[in-house]
């Protein structure tokens, strides 16, 4: 029987992964290198959460291909981190950000 579950980054079979590789595969987005939705939910709760997405991603993918859309998603993730947000890649073009206050999130997202 062939095991078909693989990690998209290393392309290893799950049975060949180290515990650290399994943890990463479960908790980090392979598109953005940000923590994923699972990490968001299992992490410490925050008093404030902002949801952000990239408008027009489908049109970009349709016109220029998924590699262009992936590049946009990665760039957006970098921007969220560079402005100091505790950011998570949910799925597709959706991101979650935890904050200590409304003002903290608003200030960082407005930059």
Burial label for 69, CB within 10 Å (0-12, 13-18, 19+), is buried
Domain locations along the chain: 29-110
CB atoms within 10 A of CB 21: 15
Return the structure tokens found at 35: 């923590």
Stated pTM of the model: 0.82
pLDDT at 3: 45
pLDDT of residue 49: 97
Q: How confident is the model over 46-67, as pLDDT tens digits?
A: 999 999 999 999 999 999 999 9
Q: What are phi and psi for residue 94, nearest 5 degrees? A: -105, 135
Its CATH architecture, for the domain 29-110, is 2-Layer Sandwich (3.30)
Confidence of residue 4 (pLDDT cuts 50, 70, 90): very low
Distance between CA 95 and CA 54 in Å, rounded? 9
pLDDT band at 11 (very low <50, low <70, confident <90, very high): low
Q: What is the DSSP letter of 88?
A: E
């Amino acid at each position: 029987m062939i095991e078909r579950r693989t990690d998209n980054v290393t392309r290893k079979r799950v049975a060949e992964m180290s515990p650290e590789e399994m943890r990463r595969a479960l908790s980090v987005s392979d598109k953005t290198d940000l923590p994923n939705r699972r990490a968001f939910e299992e992490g410490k709760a925050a008093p404030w959460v902002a949801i952000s997405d990239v408008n027009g991603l489908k049109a970009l993918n349709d016109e220029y291909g998924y590699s262009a859309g992936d590049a946009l998603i990665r760039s957006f993730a970098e921007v969220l981190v560079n402005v100091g947000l505790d950011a998570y890649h949910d799925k597709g073009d959706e991101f979650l950000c935890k904050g200590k206050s409304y003002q903290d999130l608003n200030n960082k997202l407005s930059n």
